């Protein structure tokens, strides 16, 4: 007796993996419209945008948006500005350093103030000279 077509195993189709594009820190992140909302979603959108700007400023030495979003008393923000200005003065730039958000939580502190807590992992970065 010969095996029927139904008895033979069907071929397994393995989908071709779609390559994940490598993030390019030199491309300015798009400012999310949600940042204009005075709510938890707006606070979270602003925090995510700020985190996306971090590798961008090192890759491009463009501090325009970083300065606009930084509070004058923010020590971290000021240190980034100083580092990038020194890097630019030397004719250096960086590649990589993207931040991967592991978790993010937004807490309403008052009706018009939100705290955003994010756990992030920074990818490797390389600084190049002229």
Q: Any idea which of 6-15, 26-35, 58-67, 70-79 has the lowest mean pLDDT?
A: 6-15
Q: What is the pLDDT of residue 54?
A: 95
Higher model confidence: residue 3 or residue 106? 106
The b-or-e profile of 49-73 (16+ CB within 10 A means b, else e) is bbbbbbbbbbbbbbbebbeebbeee
Q: What is the pTM of this model?
A: 0.77
CA distance 85 to 79: 10
Residue 10 reports pLDDT greater than 50:
no
Mean pLDDT of the chain: 86
């Amino acid at each position: 007796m010969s095996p029927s077509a139904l008895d033979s195993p069907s071929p397994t189709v393995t989908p071709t993996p779609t390559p994940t594009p490598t993030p390019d820190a030199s491309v300015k992140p798009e400012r999310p419209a949600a940042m204009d909302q005075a709510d938890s979603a707006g606070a979270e959108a602003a925090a995510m945008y700020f985190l996306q700007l971090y590798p961008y400023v090192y890759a491009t030495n463009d501090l325009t948006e970083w300065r606009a979003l930084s509070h004058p008393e923010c020590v971290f923000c000021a240190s980034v500005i100083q580092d990038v200005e020194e890097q630019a003065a030397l004719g250096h730039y960086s590649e990589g350093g993207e931040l991967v958000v592991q978790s993010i939580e937004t807490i309403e502190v008052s009706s018009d103030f939100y705290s955003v807590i994010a756990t992030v992992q920074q990818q490797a970065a390389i600084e190049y000279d002229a």
